[in-house]
Structure 1
Amino acid sequence: MILDLFFPNRCIHCSRIIDAKLLVCSLCFEHIHFTHFDYFGENIIKEKCRLLFPVENTYALMKFEQDGLSRKVIHELKYKSRENAGRTIAEWTSERLIFSDQKPDLLAPVPLHPKKQRERGYNQLHLFTETLSRFYDIPFDHELVQRNHYSKAQALKDKEHRLGTVNPFSLSKPVSGKHVLLIDDVFTTGNTASSIAWEILNAGDNKVSILVMAADL
């Protein structure tokens, strides 16, 4: 309480003082560009994924814009030690994403390499995933997918190009007969989703859907 008096939480966009649990004030919230995607319908993510792997359903909460508020939100989560932002983004998602009676069987976040997670102090997707798990009553597994290499994204891409078939991801355990909802923060090219999806699809009679906080459209 004393810290709140001297260091009040402020809106990440306009700097107004807001409740400690919030990221943006009510006025700035209106400037977040939500996608309004239909999880079961057609959207640009599904179109891109279909070119790379068999996908069931896809959903992005926000549009990822270079100068937009969604970028600031995710930047706070990933780089400003605002792990609790994951819970807030999950709450926004739960207000907009409806599974009806066709819920996936398992939630699986994209992993960080253990070294990267130690450096950051947390995986930015874990609290987001756990909050959605409780809301939708769907189990999650933070350990299902593991990242095999620690390197910068571009360096990893170059390494994969040189070695041809190296996949930076693998599964830590058998999984079969499951519809896995793969969770990530930002969807860009779809290469990360594809690398993990093929590991899941090749492991058994599985299906894969995609959920991201934001999509670079």
Structure 2
Amino acid sequence: MILDLLFPNRCLGCNRIIDADLLVCELCFQQIDFTHFNYFDDHFIKEKCRLLFPVAHTFALMQFKKENLSRKIIHELKYKSREKAGKILAEWTSERLEFKDEKPDLLISVPLHPKKLKERGYNQLHIFTEQLSEFYEIPFDHHLIKRNYYSKAQALKDKQHRLETENTFSITRAISGKHVLIIDDVFTTGNTLATIAWEILNAGNNKVSVLVIAADI
């Protein structure tokens, strides 16, 4: 209570004091660039993914543009230890994503290298994934895919380095006959998702779908 008085929670959009469990105020919430993509429809994300790997379905919650509010929200999630942001983003996703009769068998998120995990203190996608798992009653596995190399933040890499993802990830156990939903925070080139997808596809008779919190479109 004292900390709330000394350091009140403020809206990421307008800096107004807001409830401790919120990211933005009601007015700024209306300014968020939600994509309104349908999981089953053809759209930009699915078209980009299909150029790189066979994908069943795709979904992006928000648009990721220069200086927009979704960029600030992702930054809070990734770099400022705002773990509650993962729960709120999962709630927003559950209000907009319907799997119908094609619910995935397993949820996985893009892993951090152990060194990066130690530096950051948590994987920003774990809480998001776990909240979705609880809501949709789909199991998750944080260890199916491992990151083989430590590297600097994706946001700090130039375009050429972003393309150099070969052998970055590997699969840790046998898996076959499963529909796996791969979860990432921001979709840019799609190469990270492609590398993970091929590990899963090559492991057995599996199929993959993609969910990203924001897409650079």
Fold similarity call, TM over 0.5 = yes
1:115 aligned to 2:115?
Answer: yes
User: What is the distance in 2 between the residues matched to 1:158 and 1:137?
Assistant: 37
Quote the residue 2:47 is aligned against: 47
Cα pair 2:9 2:20 within 8 Å, conserved: yes
Quote the residue 1:64 is aligned against: 64
User: What is the distance in 1 between the residues matched to 2:170 and 2:159?
Assistant: 15
| Counterpart code for 1:201 | L
User: What is the distance in 1 between the residues matched to 2:46 and 2:99?
Assistant: 16
User: Percent of pairs identical after alignment?
Assistant: 69
TM-score by length of 1: 0.95
Q: Secondary structure at the match of 1:89?
A: helix
Q: Which runs of 4+ in 1 moved over 3 A?
A: 153-161
Deviations 1:35-82 (A, max 9, x none): 000100111010001111000000000000111000000000111110
User: What is the distance in 2 between the residues matched to 1:90 and 1:83?
Assistant: 11
Aligned-pair distance for 1:173? Answer: 1.1
Cα pair 1:147 1:168 within 8 Å, conserved: yes
Aligned-pair distance for 1:166? Answer: 3.9
1:11 aligned to 2:11?
Answer: yes
Aligned-pair distance for 1:21? Answer: 0.7
Deviates more, 1:106-115 or 1:4-13: 4-13
Quote the residue 2:29 is aligned against: 29
Relative distance call for 1:203 and 1:101 in structure 2 (3 A) is same
Please tell me the root mean square deviation across aligned C-alpha atoms, in Å. Answer: 1.7
Aligned-pair distance for 1:160? Answer: 7.7
Quote the residue 1:20 is aligned against: 20
Cα pair 1:160 1:167 within 8 Å, conserved: no
Aligned-pair distance for 1:167? Answer: 1.2
Aligned residues: 214
Structure 2 residues without counterparts, runs of 5 or longer: none
Structure 1 residues without counterparts, runs of 5 or longer: none
Quote the residue 1:134 is aligned against: 134
User: How do residues 1-217 of structure 1 correspond to structure 2 at under 5 angstroms?
Assistant: 1-152=1-152, 153=154, 154=157, 158=161, 166-217=166-217
Q: Secondary structure at the match of 1:49?
A: helix
Q: Secondary structure at the match of 2:9?
A: coil
